Structure 1
Amino acid sequence: MLVTLIAFAVALGILITFHELGHYWVARACGVRVLRFSVGFGRVLLRRYDRHGTEWALSAIPLGGYVKMQDEPEPGASPAQAAQAFNTQPVGKRIAIVAAGPLFNLALAALLYAALNLAGSMEPRAIVAPPPAGSPAAAAGFQGGEEILAVDGRAVRSWTDTRWRLLDVLAAGGTSEISVRTAQDQTQVRALTVPAGGLDPAIEDPLAEAGLRLSALPTVVRGVLPGGPGEAAGLQQGDRILQAGGLSEPDTRSFVELVQGHGEQPLPLVVQRGETRLNLTVTPTLQDDGQGARVGRIGVHLGADPPMVQVRHGPLESLWLGVVRTADTAWFSLRMMGRMITGDVSLKNVSGPVTIADYAGQTARIGLAAYVGFLALVSVSLGVLNLLPIPMLDGGHLLYYFIEIIRGAPPSERWLELGQRTGLALLAGLMGLALFNDMVRLFT
């Protein structure tokens, strides 16, 4: 829990502070006086003033921050001082200042994605398992053991890359042309067709629902417990299970289920040890599984070694791919919002602070790369959300400014007040829905 709370607070602190830095830097460039830049909310713990008179504050609640500008000229201000007020700026400068926050979030996401591309990572190769009968992948002709090389003409290097390239067609429906290398080392093209409307992202794994799963991995013995049936049978660390009973090259789950069902019954095995194939027989002992049932156990630790590939890019390519990934993510987010409005996608996909905090904690435990990827994704979401033309958000202010350009004058006070009430109601409803979904996920 502590890791989750810290990871969540750090994420909000970084993303919201960077958002406010966008407003601050552009406001300063436009000559607007900034009264305070606060990291956090609530009681001020530390403060200092710079030569421009801006108060830099560290506040008690570390959940973001804010920028306070001088909105109106002070009474008796000189023309030069009046020109430093936000509301006296030309509409073009006001647009730039307001838009800078969300745009800085999108820029941060691009830089984070670029850093991940530059650092590189080890990822599973895109080798598919045999698809279930009747699935879109089976209809497309996919066979187990085929490696995906490209999606719609764009090369992919790993399973993670493949998942990302197929995200759009899985969500919206349609056909995607996928180049594969067959087990016979031939290159062929499979046309994967997803029904119109796509697959609901609320399901656990839309890619698996389409019939594409990572190839089942061979079971490897990671360790042997002294005195157990595995040691008595002659199993050693590093042995690869080629056959167990009637199963050929079983994955870890299948092998465990087989062992559990063979309590006190001899189970023939064929294992690969180095260059040697060995025939062994293990007899699982019956043990309590902790839930009132007795199952077979052989006293070994199991694992699997997926074929991996290192994915790394050069500096310029990393930056370009970071920009492309950010743009693709932002566009996908907008399309998902549109599909929620039309009812094509369940509103259960709306997540609130509890789910975001949970993801922050999970990615922080996985490692730095996963956490940085989480920061980039949330930064895109924050940028896109704030650009929506909803009063109370940056996009709502931009909407007013564009109306001002068209009309030649700002909207009336009556319309501004109505917009504020409407925006507040929309945001309150959205937050209520997000918290409801969070609670449902938490308790179910």
Structure 2
Amino acid sequence: MLIAVAGPAVNLLFAVLTLWLLFIIGVPDFKPTIGTVNSDSVLARAQIGEGDNIVAINGSGVDTLSDANLYLVDALGSAAVPLVAVDKNGRQKTAMLDLSNYQAGHEMAVNRLVGFNWALAKAYDNQPLSAVRVISGAAAEKAGLKSGDLIVKINESLPTTVADFVHLIQASPQQPIALTVSRQGQTLPITLIPQLSADNPLQGYAGLSIGQQRDEAALAEYQTTKRYGWLMALPKSISANYLQGELMLKTLWRLVVGKASVDNLGGPITIADYSGKTLEAGYVFYFQFLAAISLVLAVMNLLPLPVLDGGHIAMCLLEMVRGKPLSERALDILMRLGGSVVLTFMLFVVTLDIWRYLFK
């Protein structure tokens, strides 16, 4: 049993120590400042508005935008989640959120479920959209779009956000969308006609991955750094890893019951992609990513499935309670069942990766 415990223990130790060191160095993040608020939202009724900073969610202190998103996603399914914000005058306001009525996908942008945008979004307002990747043979390629193109106008209006453009594409199956594109200094008119989506024939599909340029000056206004002294950094690291681990288990269960999107899952292709992106972003982001992967390995390996370390630990404990080992037949059946579950899951995430990077 000690051998089975050793693997996850090393992964957990690496995650905790890495995040501890990063907290001492300082992890770049953004301020949890609220932007536009829907007029019919619970925040508006609590007089929480643009420019206010979130300081606590569900009793946990919030220092950064990442903290706020993490606590909101963790609270999905709860009917009474207190959110505390402070305005520029130091006045504290509290709203009671009802997050019980959520659907799969809400965890990807939980602030919209609550009814507000982050102030950070201002850095992207009216900035050109960029064609990151164009799927071969899809509507975007047929229209003449190429990777690297900048979309400076959509139906003669300035771009707003990536989400708004995606929504327009989905709402316009086989309907023309007039784009003004900048390519290597030239301005080109392009008409995009979204094809019918294979997933939903009522929605449009362009076969286009979109990014967005940003206003660096506006972005700098909301940047902050999460940093602690060496003594405080350790419990903060343990707490952050515990919450992330707990959230992983909740997300797995939500996936099983259809209350979370499969976009939360990623296989080897996704890991390689994010590894490269975080390495380009800087060593702090890269080691933060490595710590997260190590934690995922620890949590997944501790699941009580035969063939995983958690399964071996569970069987050892069962044998200790019974006072005798399991029969060869029982072990064989358990190993086959556990192996089938793990193999099926691996095939699923790899297939999802291939679909995400080659066809979606």
1:433/1:139 Cα in 2 relative to 1: closer, same or farther (>3 Å)? farther
Residue pair 2:42, 2:96 contacting (<8 A) in 1 also: no
Pick from 90, 96, 104 the counterpart of residue 191 of structure 1.
Answer: 96
Post-superposition offset of 1:434: 0.8
2:113 is equivalent to residue 215 of structure 1: no
Aligned residue in 2 for 1:150: 56
Partner AA of 2:92 in structure 1? T
| CA shift digits 1:145-183 (9 cap, x unpaired) | 1111222333322222222232211x3343321221224
CA distance in 2, matches of 1:421, 1:179: 50
1:184, CA displacement in angstroms? Answer: 4.4
Ranked by relative contact order (alpha carbons within 8 Å, sequence separation 6 or more), the top structure is: 2
- CA distances 1:183-212 after superposition (whole Å, capped 9, x unpaired): 44411112222234x453476422334333
Q: Secondary structure at the match of 1:115?
A: helix
Matched residues, percent identical? Answer: 27
User: What's the offset of the Cα at 1:302?
Assistant: 5.1
What's 2:24 paired with?
118
Contact 1:126 1:162 in 2 (8 A): yes
Q: State the 1:318 CA deviation.
A: 0.5
* CA deviation after TM superposition for structure 1 residue 420, in Å: 1.6
Equivalence for 2:110: 206
Are 2:360 and 1:415 aligned? Answer: no
- After superposing the two structures, state which structure 1 stretch, 105-114 or 333-342, moved more: 333-342
Tell me the SS of whatever aligns to 1:253: coil
The whole-number CA distance in structure 2 between the counterparts of 1:204 and 1:166 is 11
* 1:148–1:156 Cα contact (<8 Å) kept: yes
Establish whether residue 175 from structure 1 lines up as the match of residue 80 from structure 2: yes
CA spacing shift, 1:117–1:212, aligned 2, 3 Å: farther
2:342 to 399, 423, 427: 427
**Does the C-alpha gap of structure 1 residues 123 and 302 become closer, same or farther in structure 2, counting only changes over 3 Å?**
closer
Give TM-score, length-normalised by structure 1: 0.58
Report the equivalent of 2:290: 375
Q: 1:215: how far off? A: 1.0
Counterparts of 1:112 and 1:201 in 2: how far apart (Å)? 30
Separation in 1, partners of 2:266, 2:48: 34
Structure 2 residue matching 1:309: 3-state secondary structure: strand
Cα distance in structure 1, aligned partners of 2:229 and 2:58: 23
C-alpha spacing 1:209/1:103, structure 2 compared with 1 (3 Å): same
* Matches of 1:344 and 1:218, distance apart in 2: 30
Contact 1:252–1:302 (CA under 8 A) maintained in structure 2: no
Inter-CA distance 202–192: structure 2 relative to 1 (3 Å threshold): closer
Q: Which amino acid aligns with 1:292?
A: I
Is the partner of 1:177 in helix, strand or coil? strand
Q: Whose Rg is larger?
A: 1
- After superposition, the Cα gap between the structure-2 partners of 1:156 and 1:126, relative to the gap in structure 1 and judged at 3 Å, is same
Q: In 1, are the aligned partners of 2:306 and 2:339 still within 8 Å (CA)? A: yes
Letter in 2 for 1:191: M
What's the TM-score once normalised by structure 2's chain length?
Answer: 0.71
Provide closer, same or farther for how the CA distance between residues 201 and 403 of structure 1 changes in structure 2, counting only shifts above 3 A.
Answer: same
Q: Which whole-Å CA distance do the structure 1 matches of 2:318 and 2:99 have between them?
A: 41
Higher strand share: 1
Distance in structure 1 (CA, Å) of the matches to 2:272 and 2:46: 39
Helix, strand or coil for the counterpart of 1:123?
strand
Within the alignment, does 1:339 sit opposite 2:213 as a pair? no
2:18 corresponds to which letter in structure 1? L
- CA distances 1:71-126 after superposition (whole Å, capped 9, x unpaired): xxxxxxxxxxxxxxxxxxxxxxxx22211111221121111111121111343222
Change beyond 3 A, Cα 1:377–1:341: same
Q: 1:144 to 1:328 in 2, by over 3 A?
A: same
Q: Partner of 2:304: helix, strand, or coil?
A: coil
Query: How big is the shift at 1:257?
Result: 5.5
Q: Which runs of 5+ in 2 are unaligned?
A: 129-151, 159-181, 192-213
Structure 1: runs of 5 or more not aligned: 1-94, 220-249, 263-285, 294-300
Q: Deviations over 1:296-335 (max 9, x none)?
A: xxxxx95423233332101121011111111111111112
Match of 1:363 among 278, 281, 291: 278
CA distance in structure 2 between the aligned counterparts of 1:302 and 1:325, rounded to whole angstroms: 31
Query: Deviating runs (4+, > 6 A) in structure 1?
Result: none
